[in-house]
Amino acid sequence: MLYSVREVKGKKDLDRFIRFPELLYKGCGQYVPPLRKGQEHELMHAPSLKYCKRRMWLAEDASGKVAGRICAVINPRYNEKYGTKRIRFGWFDLINDMEVARALFDAAESWAREEGMEEIHGPLHYNTLGRQGMLVEGFDKLAPFSCLYNYPYYVDIVKGLGFEKECDWIQYMVPADHDLDERLNAISARLMQRYRLHVADFDALKKDREMVRRFFRTYNESFDGNVYNFIPFTEEEIEEEIDQIIGQLDSRLCCVILDEDDEVAAFGISIPSLSRAMQKAKGRLFPFGWYHVIKAMRDFTLVDLMIEGAAPKWQNTGVSALIHETMSAQYKACGAKWALANPQIETNTAVSVWSRYEKELWLRRRCWIKKIK
């Protein structure tokens, strides 16, 4: 079958771009649709677009039916930081047809060549906190709301186009209601006493905008140079996270450790699993989607660990034990049974922390890369 590719222009095209996965994954029990309004904001109004370039394309069959989509992004901050000339692809979905894939990537790579790019990699977002990484293991598992899901044939398609593995992210499922190793408890107690560390009042912290800004700056410092492909947040991106995310967090699932000067030493942020709620909402909060989301926010049976880290001066000191001890106690207090760890680069030494726990490798995601010819 012949397919045509055209660039997304205007509201109608954007709406078709956003809604295509809902049609593609209809009846798939593992797919979790993102909110339509959230997708529209990301693609049209995200603060990252102040420095990123992006273009979007749809592939259509002869009848005009959408068969695939792709978004290509050039992040000059990334290329400057890592000394590369790369374009990234994301928002990539398609039917099981190599012809569709080839047509979409031809469009993206043609633009990349015009811009002087030499490599293409993805699926990636503008920055590190976005939905990224193609699923390569765990297709039978329910996708976390904050992560991508894709059919198994995606892997064969990108391999067939010459892409190779750049890196993998892995996620472990761990019991949330188990007691920690007594050695970790002892380490935590010594750290608290020796360095005069203390657990912040998270509800009070959320209301202190300047303190939250300091938290995100610590997040930048924590991951910069330690996490592969990491891009620090800009001040505008930090402000958006404060406005959209921080106020919604439940203090029973979050922990921030402060030092004696009230500077952020370490942190762990988790949320109740919203996957089933988002499936019921079908990408919309109104008229009834909000009910499912609010209900899910009160169910702590399964929690998603979103981010965890430590300020540079506190890394390799054992402070992670303090975060895990505190959050373990919080999980038990609120009735959590399971915790799904956030995606972590498999080569990151921080992944070794899970060796202390009963765990199961749950999901594996991959960033693919290839030269642009």
Stretch 249-274: mean pLDDT: 93
* 105-114, 153-162, 260-269, 308-317: least confident range: 308-317
Please name the residue ranges forming H helices in 161-244: 182-195, 202-207, 209-223, 235-244
User: What local confidence, expressed as pLDDT, does residue 349 receive?
Assistant: 64
* pLDDT > 90 fraction of the chain, expressed in percent and rounded: 74
Measure the CA–CA gap between 138 and 128, rounded to whole angstroms.
21
Stretch 9-34: mean pLDDT: 97
User: What local confidence, expressed as pLDDT, does residue 325 receive?
Assistant: 84
User: What local confidence, expressed as pLDDT, does residue 223 receive?
Assistant: 87
Chain mean pLDDT for the chain: 92
Check: CB of residue 283 under 8 Å from CB of residue 36: yes
Stretch 73-89: mean pLDDT: 97
How would you class 157 by CB atoms within 10 Å of its CB: exposed for 0-12, middle for 13-18, buried for 19 or more?
A: buried
170 dihedral zone (left: phi>0; alpha: psi -120 to 50; beta): beta
Check: CB of residue 135 under 8 Å from CB of residue 25: no
Q: Is the pTM higher than 0.85?
A: yes
pLDDT band at 350 (very low <50, low <70, confident <90, very high): low
User: What local confidence, expressed as pLDDT, does residue 188 receive?
Assistant: 76
pLDDT in tens, 300-343: 999 999 988 889 888 888 787 788 888 888 999 999 999 999 89
* 1-15, 202-216, 220-234: least confident range: 220-234
**According to the per-residue pLDDT averaged within each range, which of 100-104, 174-178, 225-229 is highest?**
100-104
Measure the CA–CA gap between 174 and 125, rounded to whole angstroms.
27
Stretch 167-191: mean pLDDT: 81
Domains in the chain, CATH or no CATH each: 4-168 (3.40.630.30), 177-336 (3.40.630)
User: What local confidence, expressed as pLDDT, does residue 324 receive?
Assistant: 83
Calculate ∠ Cα 321-324-328, nearest 5°: 140
Calculate ∠ Cα 3-159-110, nearest 5°: 50
User: What local confidence, expressed as pLDDT, does residue 321 receive?
Assistant: 79
Q: Report the SS3 class of residue 337.
A: coil
Res. 181: pLDDT tops 80: no
